């Protein structure tokens, strides 16, 4: 065979391999995109859309799944496992969730190591960090396209998952392996989470430095990248939301009337509909919602039943302190029941977590207690902390720039002009002072709003930007 023939055959084989690779990649991307569309269409429970989304993700070749693919599959099952909505979920659901979460961390750890190696190479070759447009900042550990999520969201949530007590939800085979699976996952997280977090911070620092001219601009850009912004029907299961809902429920439970039962208050709401401002279509939706509430299903995240939540909120509307707003509060509660069907009357109602959240939130701005029904996600609080911290940093730099002490003034000026050199010891002192101010602010405003782990992680994220 002529040499040219051998080369031609080799080229043909390479082309065929590239075509197959591209076809497989595109097929996986289509599945990933379809799963995202199904998640967006989900009402927030383990409904038909969520079930199909998990199936789509599982069709992606295991060796081609990203950290985000595994995370999505795990969260769809886990969010609704907490509410007992696992009728459509696969058998061995706990094991499936944990396997997805372990694989999520494995892929993030692999990407973190790869990023560190690339960073080391860039430093060794004295090459400026690659500039990337802001929209690419999201999801650095996802592993290529589809379902963008920030790494920190995935790490935080999986850590939160291990805090849940699932013991009472399982028996038989699942119950027997529960402890071992959870211990394995906790160990895996303890080993890989710090690596992933630090690599994520390094990446944000590099991107911020590459996209800006001064240190002040770099810090601001880093803080912007550290903020999180998500929109997902499944986010009603956020751990901070669940805590706020539990706290709100406990706060209003003293208003519970022991002389009335759940059927009594369901009937009272039904009668109230005829004097409400709702139209006929809305009244029909409320009746459908009351039928669901009357089943009194248990909600694990609140450790009570859905009927208990409804009755507690209804009784709150009749508390003597709420006499002036009582009718408005009942209107708001009725509207919350209409919103059970935000995806349309021909679709499933939102999940039980979302339903209870809507009922409790109906109290906001109407209850005599201003804090009643108020709910914040961990993401919302984190973004508030970062905004406050950025203000402290900018104010500190401005103050240093006009300091009467020259050595401190040069430190402040160096943040705004890269040509100005400053004393290293004085700069380190300045940074420690900023850290102390930030810590004091967080202790005063946010200590009671966050878990110890979340408080420390958010603070460390901020410190890393200095």
Of residues 67 and 17, the one with the higher pLDDT is 67
Q: Give 139-160 pLDDT, tens digit per residue.
A: 344 433 333 456 777 888 888 8
Total domains in the fold of the chain: 3
End-of-domain residue from the set 177, 212, 247: 212
Which residues span the domain enclosing 136? 31-212
**Do both 455 and 322 map to the same domain?**
no
Length of the chain: 466
Q: Is residue 87 part of a domain?
A: yes
Tokens of 442: 């967080």
Q: Is residue 19 part of a domain?
A: no
All residues at 6 or more sequence positions from 94 whose CB lies less than 8 Å from its CB, including other chains:
81, 166, 170, 174, 177, 178, 181
Q: Give 160-183 pLDDT, tens digit per residue.
A: 888 766 655 555 444 555 667 777
Mean pLDDT of 211-232: 85
For the chain, give the percent of residues with pLDDT over 70: 78
What local confidence, expressed as pLDDT, does residue 80 receive?
A: 65
What local confidence, expressed as pLDDT, does residue 129 receive?
A: 45
- Give me the long-range contacts of 109-117 (CB less than 8 A, separation at least 24): 109/192, 109/195, 109/196, 111/67, 111/140, 111/141, 111/143, 111/199, 112/141, 112/195, 112/196, 112/198, 112/199, 112/200, 113/195, 113/199, 115/140, 115/199, 115/202, 115/203, 116/199, 116/202
**Do both 57 and 182 map to the same domain?**
yes
**Do both 403 and 458 map to the same domain?**
yes
Q: Is residue 104 part of a domain?
A: yes
**Do both 99 and 205 map to the same domain?**
yes
**Do both 355 and 393 map to the same domain?**
no
End-of-domain residue from the set 331, 361, 391: 361
Tell me how far the alpha carbon of residue 378 is from its chain's centroid.
Answer: 7
**Do both 311 and 385 map to the same domain?**
no
Q: Is residue 121 part of a domain?
A: yes
Mean pLDDT of 129-146: 38
What local confidence, expressed as pLDDT, does residue 147 receive?
A: 33
**Do both 248 and 115 map to the same domain?**
no
Lowest mean pLDDT: which of 63-67, 332-336, 376-380?
A: 376-380
Q: Give 418-452 pLDDT, tens digit per residue.
A: 999 999 999 999 999 999 999 999 999 999 888 89
The pLDDT of residue 134 is above 60: no
For the chain, give the percent of residues with pLDDT over 90: 37
Q: Give 340-385 pLDDT, tens digit per residue.
A: 988 777 777 888 888 998 999 999 889 998 888 777 778 888 999 9
């Amino acid at each position: 065979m002529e040499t040219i023939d051998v080369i031609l055959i080799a080229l043909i084989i390479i082309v065929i391999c590239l075509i197959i690779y591209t076809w497989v990649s595109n097929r996986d991307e289509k599945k990933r995109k379809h799963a995202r569309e199904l998640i967006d269409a989900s009402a927030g429970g383990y409904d038909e859309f969520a079930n199909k989304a998990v199936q789509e993700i599982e069709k992606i070749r295991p060796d081609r799944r990203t950290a985000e693919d595994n995370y999505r599959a795990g969260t769809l099952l886990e969010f609704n496992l907490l509410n007992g909505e696992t009728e459509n979920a696969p058998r061995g659901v706990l094991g499936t969730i944990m396997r997805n979460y372990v694989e999520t961390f494995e892929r993030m750890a692999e990407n973190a190591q790869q990023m560190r190696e690339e960073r080391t190479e860039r430093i060794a070759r004295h090459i400026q960090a690659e500039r990337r447009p802001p929209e690419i900042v999201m999801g650095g550990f996802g592993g290529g396209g589809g379902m963008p999520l920030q790494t920190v969201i995935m790490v935080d949530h999986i850590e939160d998952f291990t805090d849940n007590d699932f013991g009472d939800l399982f028996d038989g085979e699942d119950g027997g392996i529960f402890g071992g699976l959870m211990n394995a996952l906790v160990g895996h997280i303890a080993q890989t989470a710090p690596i992933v977090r630090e690599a994520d911070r390094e990446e944000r620092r590099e991107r911020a430095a590459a996209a800006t001219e001064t240190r002040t601009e770099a810090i601001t850009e880093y803080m912007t990248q550290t903020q999180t912004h998500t929109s997902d029907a499944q986010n009603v299961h956020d751990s901070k939301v669940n805590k706020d809902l539990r706290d709100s429920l406990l706060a209003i439970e003293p208003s519970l009337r022991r002389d009335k039962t759940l059927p009594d208050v369901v009937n009272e709401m039904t009668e109230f509909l005829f004097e409400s401002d709702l139209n006929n279509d809305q009244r029909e939706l409320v009746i459908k919602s009351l039928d669901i509430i009357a089943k009194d299903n248990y909600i694990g995240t609140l450790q009570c039943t859905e009927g208990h939540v409804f009755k507690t909120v209804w009784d709150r509307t009749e508390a003597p302190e709420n006499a002036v707003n009582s009718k408005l509060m009942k209107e708001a509660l009725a509207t919350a029941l209409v919103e059970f069907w935000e995806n349309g009357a021909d679709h499933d109602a939102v999940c039980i977590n979302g339903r209870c959240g809507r009922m409790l939130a109906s109290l906001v701005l109407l209850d005599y207690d201003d804090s009643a029904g108020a709910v914040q996600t961990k993401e919302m609080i984190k973004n508030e902390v970062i905004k406050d911290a950025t203000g402290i940093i900018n104010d500190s730099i401005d103050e240093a720039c006009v300091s009467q002490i020259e050595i401190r003034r040069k430190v402040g000026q160096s943040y705004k002009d890269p040509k100005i050199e400053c004393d290293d010891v004085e700069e380190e002192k300045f940074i420690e002072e900023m850290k102390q101010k930030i810590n004091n602010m967080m202790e005063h405003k946010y200590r009671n709003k966050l878990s110890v782990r979340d408080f420390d992680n958010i603070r460390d994220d901020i410190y890393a930007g200095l």
